[in-house]
A and B are shown apart, each in its own frame.
Chain A
Amino acid sequence: MPIQVLMPALSPTMEKGNLAKWLKKEGETIKSGDVIAEIETDKATMEVEATDEGTLGKILIPEGTADVAVNTPIATILADGESAADLAKASAPAKQEKAAESAPPAAAKSEMPQPKAAPAPQAVAEPDPEVPAGTEMVTQTIREALRDAMAEEMRRDADVFVMGEEVAEYQGAYKVTQGLLQEFGAKRVIDTPITEHGFAGVGVGAAMTGLKPIVEFMTFNFAMQAIDQIINSAAKTLYMSGGQMGCSIVFRGPNGAAARVAAQHSQDYSAWYSHIPGLKVVAPYSAADAKGLLKAAIRDPNPVIFLENEVLYGHTGEVPKLDDFIIPIGKARIVRAGSHVTIISWSNGMTYALKAADELAKEGIEAEVIDLRTLRPMDTETIINSVKKTGRAVTVEEGWAQSGVGAEIAARIMENAFDYLDAPVTRVSGKDVPMPYAANLEKLALPSAAEVVEAAKAVCYR
């Protein structure tokens, strides 16, 4: 029976990729381990190795094809004694083998808790007050928006530089710094050794002299090694020096759950950093916000924790084509107006919140969805004004509930709008367990749109 070669996944969050090149022709003999094709995403390029021996029977996806979904059959391999006539049989669901050794098993399952190949919902009902009417928009991935923000600020200010693991030659572990080395050179785009504690301290020291480092953590999980420098050195120096010496520095990188990387690589640090006076904490959801807020963070004279999300990097959105597009830190945004219940979230939590709002609308519940965008300083006013209107609030976060950002929001609502509440503030959060690896358990551990719908209906007594 001919064997199908499937489009492999290069990473746990990859949904589709381009088939860049075939290195074997139909009819060529293939040995296990032979490189048969090259595939690429916006993040990486990789060779596809054969895991079976035989003859390349038929190429199903020609080279140059873009956006091939993971697990699509891309070719068939004929075993000894098989011929082209056997190919027809192969089109029936048969023994399917993964093409690349490196493809994680996650990609083969349909139960994945990742968004499907369709672009993420970026339904924005309310115009962004920061964008003048009639502004031309460009469609960009969040990854590109972040990169452009850094490049623009580096062009503008020679004191801005980027440092971190794999930010230069490798073009960024998640390709967020793609192209920066080529434009700005090795002096300003600096590959560090794997030494988070050390390079975080080096960045803070440089910032104390007035330079403006952008320190990339490959993920915020690894920033745990550096958290002493972030909190004890970066956040507190201005105060401890009586205002004499502070540091303008951005610590950025992906935060929160990726997909199928288990407990040590899937954690939301929103609450951790938002606890700390002296830090600003930003966690954007849309591409435009990612760009405008990162530019603001780089210019901010204070240390800013900039929490990105790996799952969102490849998502696209409309970014205003403006020379200097800045979103002020500390302002939430009403992304969808509604009158029955306020749903408050940020970063990838917005994915669940917006989906839930769509579902709720079908049942006649109009949810007002607030994207906090900045966690510290928190835009309490926007939350309170909304709750005064709706009388009900649901918070959505991927992090744990205890001492979480949702708990803080609930407390602020209680302090400022208690008399307006028609129901207790309800939290939807990550479950109170370390992140499990198994696909089904991981899905259960994360919040879901269904949970948000349920919570919203509960506070509406529906």
Chain B
Amino acid sequence: MAAPKKAAASAAQDKTDGGSPPEFTKEQELKALRDMLLIRRFEEKAGQLYGMGAIGGFCHLYIGQEAVVVGMQMALKEGDQVITGYRDHGHMLATGMDANGVMAELTGRRGGYSKGKGGSMHMFSKEKHFYGGHGIVGAQVSLGTGLAFANHYRGNGNVSVTYFGDGAANQGQVYESFNMAELWKLPVIYVIENNRYAMGTSVSRASAQQDFSKRGASFNIPGKQVDGMDVRAVKAAGDEAAAWCRAGKGPFILEMQTYRYRGHSMSDPAKYRTREEVEKVRHDQDPIEQVRNRLLAAKVSEADLKAIDAEVRDIVNASADFAQHDPEPDAAELWTDVYR
């Protein structure tokens, strides 16, 4: 069956609010640019290291979707938790986790966040309130709801930001979680990163309801479609959702319309979409280029932007260097951390 053309529609056209999102200050634009660039350069480097055999197993790159995590993170406050699935490197960097630790985990070294025992899909940081990194599609949705349950139980005013994709949105436990979250008014923002493809299956071939903002409708959870390629729109939606949650009104769903430029994983056959489709999104909607163009229009100098590029490249190169030279975990680590 041929995929309906709707899937190729511009993500930006689907946003519900119309008009432009609130402007960023120059400082916000610069921070967004820097954080998104860090993710992109990091992921490009991870792709290279994978090609060299330094990274094994699965490796799911976030390139193209950077505005989602960076914009959301700008809407959070200290103590808010983040949890996601297996395409998780961007989330970790956005929460402020150290690039060296993430890259060293990808290469399976002792300096990795999980001492090399978790790998690409399983990393955590208690300090940064990042709760993984989960390899089972949809499992993080119940877990993230549990994080919100804990916030509610403790009355700490924090919000759980629970990310999942358009593919995971079809899992049963997502709806079990929606039901409990609304029933108990748990402070959780469900961020559905709709990048249009669950592995190789387009949304139109897998989802009866393709408007993911409506997926909470039967539980009375409000939802919103957001241009996930525009970091300002993401931040504004994140602010609204977080305020809703913190006011004790329960969960909120944000459908982030985004796009992944790279394959599902490193072994993607790339047969389910055209090269032209990818190129068009990259050309018309790239989240980083949008910010860069606005900054240039606002008379920020090329030199200033290049300085950001250089800073980010230094971090990424250092992380790659660390990740390739850090020793593998000690053999004794095989037996640790099973119980505590």
Contact = CB atoms under 8 A, between A and B. Distances in A.
To the question of whether A and B form a pair in one complex, the answer is: yes
Interface of A: 161, 187, 192-193, 195, 197-211, 228-229, 232-233, 237-246, 277-278, 280, 301-302
A197 B146 contact: no
Contact of A301 (B132, B338, B340): B340
A118 to B, nearest CB: 41
B86 interface: no
A207 B124 CA distance: 14
A242 B153 contact: no
Contacts of B147: 205-206, 208-209
A277 B336 CA distance: 11
Nearest to A303: B339
Contacts of B135: 232
B145 A228 contact: no
A195 B180 contact: yes
A193 B182 CA distance: 12
Nearest to B146: A205
A278 B149 contact: no
Contacts of B153: 161, 187, 206, 211
21 contacts: A195-B180, A198-B180, A201-B141, A202-B142, A203-B146, A204-B142, A206-B150, A206-B153, A208-B146, A209-B150, A211-B150, A229-B139, A233-B139, A239-B338, A240-B124, A241-B113, A242-B116, A243-B336, A244-B113, A245-B124, A245-B131
A202 B136 contact: no
Contacts of A239: 117, 337-338
A238 B340 CA distance: 8
Contact of B123 (A192, A228, A241): A241
Contacts of A211: 150, 153
A202 B113 CA distance: 24
A208 B122 contact: no
Nearest to B135: A232
B114 A193 contact: no
Contact of B180 (A199, A233, A237): A199
Contacts of A195: 176, 179-180
Contacts of B113: 241-242, 244
Contact of B339 (A237, A240, A245, A302): A302
Interface in B300-340: 336-340
Interface string B102-119: 000000000011111110
B142 A193 contact: no
B5 interface: no
B326 to A, nearest CB: 13
Interface in B257-304: none
Contacts of A187: 153
A202 B149 contact: yes
Contact of A302 (B81, B173, B340): B340
Nearest to A236: B122
A361 B145 CA distance: 56
Contact of B115 (A202, A228, A229, A242): A242
Which has the most chain A C-beta neighbours within 10 Å: B113, B123, B338, B340?
B338
B134 interface: yes
Contacts of A198: 142, 145, 173, 176-177, 179-180
Nearest to A202: B146
A243 B337 contact: yes
Given A211-B153, A243-B115, A228 B176 contact: no
A207 B340 CA distance: 14
Interface string B133-164: 11110010111111111100100000000000
A244 B125 contact: yes
A201 B337 contact: no
Contacts of A229: 139, 142-143
Which has the most chain A C-beta neighbours within 10 Å: B124, B142, B183?
B142
Given A198-B179, A206-B147, A240-B133, 5 more contacts: A193-B180, A201-B143, A232-B135, A241-B114, A244-B114
A331 to B, nearest CB: 16
Contact of B117 (A204, A240, A246, A278): A240
B172 A197 contact: yes
Contacts of A203: 146
B141 A240 contact: no
B126 interface: yes
Contacts of B131: 205, 208, 245
A246 B83 CA distance: 15
A195 B146 CA distance: 14
Contacts of A208: 131, 143, 146-147
A200 B143 CA distance: 9
Contacts of B148: 205
Given A205-B144, A207-B146, A228-B139, A278 B180 contact: no
A233 B134 contact: yes
Contacts of B146: 201-209
Contact of A200 (B126, B134, B142): B142
A238 B114 CA distance: 9
Contacts of B134: 233
A232 B139 contact: yes
A247 to B, nearest CB: 10
A215 B184 CA distance: 17
A228 B139 CA distance: 8
Nearest to A302: B339
Contacts of B150: 205-206, 209-211
A153 to B, nearest CB: 16
Contacts of B83: 205
B275 to A, nearest CB: 36
B338 A278 contact: yes
A58 to B, nearest CB: 51
Nearest to A232: B136
